[in-house]
Amino acid sequence: MAEFDYDLFVIGAGSGGVRASRVSAALGARVAVAEESALGGTCVNRGCVPKKLFVHAAQFRDDFEDAAGFGWSLGSRSFYWSTLIANKDREIARLNGIYRDLLIDAGVDLIEAHARVQDAHTLEVGGRMITAAHILIATGSEPSMPNVPGIEFAMTSDQVFQLAELPRRIAIVGGGYIATEFAGIFHALGVTTTQLYRGPLFLRGFDDDVRSFLASEMRARGVDLRFAADVESIEKVAGGLRVRLANDSVLEADAILYATGRIPRTRSIGLEQAGVALDETGAVRVDRLSRSSVPSIWAIGDATHRINLTPVAIHEGICVAKTLFAGVDTPPDHTGVPSAVFSQPPIGTVGPSEAAARDLYGEIDVYRSTFRALKDTLTGREERTLMKLIVERASGRVIAAHMVGAEAGEIIQGFAVALKCGATKAQFDATLGIHPTSAEEFVTMRDPV
């Protein structure tokens, strides 16, 4: 491939692009990556990492309140938003440096500039032309804002991490995991929080028991959840912002966060002019190997709008590197992908919802348990935990596990391994639980509902 400047040129130094670059370089390829923003992409800078730090900050509210039941006496306490922001920024800067070091140590050329595809093998990068045998699109996604009068007064999830001060009242518009997570965060930090969603129940695509259970728990905590609530307009008024809903009701807030979906960040890098087929959302259409309609141009992660999760983008990046430079066609495996929603309480899930499982497998058995965690027997907290297993009746194989409750993500990660290995309900039943834990409930449910 000596006729090209590089064997692989990657646009985007997020988690997927960086991993694809490093693995390709380790396999002997000459690699460059272009990034016009902060290294690490959405996850590190405006997504998973800072959001989880905010979740940790929010959880201290419960810890302080629960301490009294265990004999602790706490004095007055105060929360300083500016301290959280400053400490978050310092950690993100540290991670940016780590990503830079990873690329340099791997021998990848980092070009901090905007890259635009000119044709199948040529890019314009920071004012100069560069050629590559293969081009990988790893540009991620960006928030999508609806055309609502006054939308300019709202912020997106990209902006919320730099909010100058904590509002007294916030309206969060959206029913996905981002909106739901921020509703829990702001409420726990003492903000009067309203979440608005135009549909009948939030978290579409998740198991129905999980969705309704979480809604009940969030309302019990004091979050104002309003479903079938369609925003008609936003206006600036004395003392804040006014949201007018389709049912003519009015809500006033100091800040409005729109989290109504994300779209692939693909429109300004020359893909269509180069002949790359995009779908109606702007996602790159790819085959099973992540190759686009132009054979030398590939795409991974949120830019393809398959499963928009950081570990999935990393996995897809590794697969592309192996396909191109290890000589082995390696399609990514999108089955059995576990995920978590860091709501309060959190969700952990792997496998299809009950409704989807019935469509996919026909006859199934469902095991479900709700209980009050041991810790809360002394705190006075009435919060409950939900656990659910879905089993294919014919084979006895466990095809899904869902949980709402403390440490749900940590617990489901382990059970995702079992499901990936094809574990059966009989094997779950034969596994001894660790007592007393919440996780043991997954191996002690005996009777289907």
Could you tell me where the DSSP H helices lie in 142-207? 177-188
Residue 143, beta-bridge partner list: 262
435 among known catalytic residues? yes
CA distance 170 to 179: 12
Active-site residue, selected from the candidate residues 56, 334, 402, 435: 435
- Which structure tokens are listed for 11? 């646009």
CA distance 8 to 22: 11
Nearest to 265 by CA among 137, 161, 155: 137
What strands, in cross-sheet order, belong to the sheet with 231-237?
231-237, 240-245, 250-253
CB 299 within 8 A of CB 17: no
Amino acid at 303: A
CB 110 within 8 A of CB 96: no
CB 139 within 8 A of CB 269: yes
DSSP letter for 406, please: T
CB 301 within 8 A of CB 43: no
CA distance to 249, 353, 405, 419, per residue, from 358 (Å): 39, 9, 25, 17
CA distance to 263, 267, 441, per residue, from 18 (Å): 21, 21, 39
CA distance 437 to 356: 29
Nearest to 5 by CA among 30, 41, 40, 23: 30
Which residues, other chains included, contact 104 with Cβ-Cβ below 8 Å and sequence gap of 6+? 110
Nearest to 253 by CA among 192, 183, 306: 192
The number of beta carbons lying within 10 Å of the beta carbon of residue 166 is 18
The residue assigned the tokens 């509002």 is: 167
CA distance 449 to 447: 6
Reported as half-sphere exposure (CB side, CA atoms, 13 A), residue 407 has a value of 9
The residue assigned the tokens 């518009």 is: 173
CA distance 403 to 426: 20
Which residues, other chains included, contact 94 with Cβ-Cβ below 8 Å and sequence gap of 6+? none
**What residues act catalytically?**
435
